Amino acid sequence: MKNIFSILKFTLFIMVLFAIIYPMSIFGIAQLAPNKGRGETVTVNGKVVGYQKIGQKFDKSNYFWGRPSAVDYNAAGSAGSNKGPSNAEYLALVQKRIDTFLMVHPYLKKGEIPSDMVTASGSGLDPNISPQGALIQVKRVAAARNLPEEKVKVLVETKINTPVIIGTSTVNVLELNVALDELK
């Protein structure tokens, strides 16, 4: 009987610790973070249009496209495809993405498509693409919006994020598309 009471006390202690104290502590710490831990939102005219660190689906020709998503941009189910480069099903999917990309960008050759435009990221929610991935879409987006290609290209170049010390340059697709909508 003595053991049962000590086990129940320990269970109650663990429940209070991990179900109340720990979550409240994390919530309290989040209140010190930018935007009170709600993420880095992107707003247009006072309305939240997305999150800076979470990829969104853009598939219309008048917008820049992001990386493909293995989870269809569902942030609740972040995951990669878990299929390796020797998996036949994965290779067929990548080939389908290449064919689709070439159909919409007939001015390109297969070897000109950056890999990030046809392969999903590990999380399936990557908000960024390579500068090359953005620049090869300039012609399509400019034509769809009846804008000069050079104007759209300059916009892309202003949105390239260069790392301070190490890493690769990226372009945030949501920020680029918001700036594109603001372009006159």
Task: Please state the length of the chain.
Answer: 184
Q: How many CB atoms lie within 10 A of CB 17?
A: 11
Confidence of residue 127 (pLDDT cuts 50, 70, 90): very high
pTM: 0.78
Cα 2 from chain centroid (whole Å)? 54
Alpha helices in 105-171 (DSSP H): 131-135, 138-145, 149-158
Confidence of residue 119 (pLDDT cuts 50, 70, 90): very high
Which pLDDT score is estimated for 69? Answer: 87
Instruction: Indicate if 147 and 93 belong to the same structural domain.
Output: yes
Instruction: Indicate if 10 and 87 belong to the same structural domain.
Output: no
Instruction: Indicate if 26 and 56 belong to the same structural domain.
Output: no
Instruction: Indicate if 17 and 72 belong to the same structural domain.
Output: no
Instruction: Indicate if 133 and 171 belong to the same structural domain.
Output: yes
Instruction: Indicate if 33 and 53 belong to the same structural domain.
Output: no
Instruction: Indicate if 123 and 167 belong to the same structural domain.
Output: yes
Instruction: Indicate if 94 and 177 belong to the same structural domain.
Output: yes
Which pLDDT score is estimated for 2? Answer: 78
Q: How far apart are CA 11 and CA 67, in angstroms?
A: 46
Q: What's the mean per-residue pLDDT of the chain?
A: 90
Q: Which domain holds residue 15?
A: 1-38
Written as one letter, the residue type at 94 is: V
Which pLDDT score is estimated for 158? Answer: 96
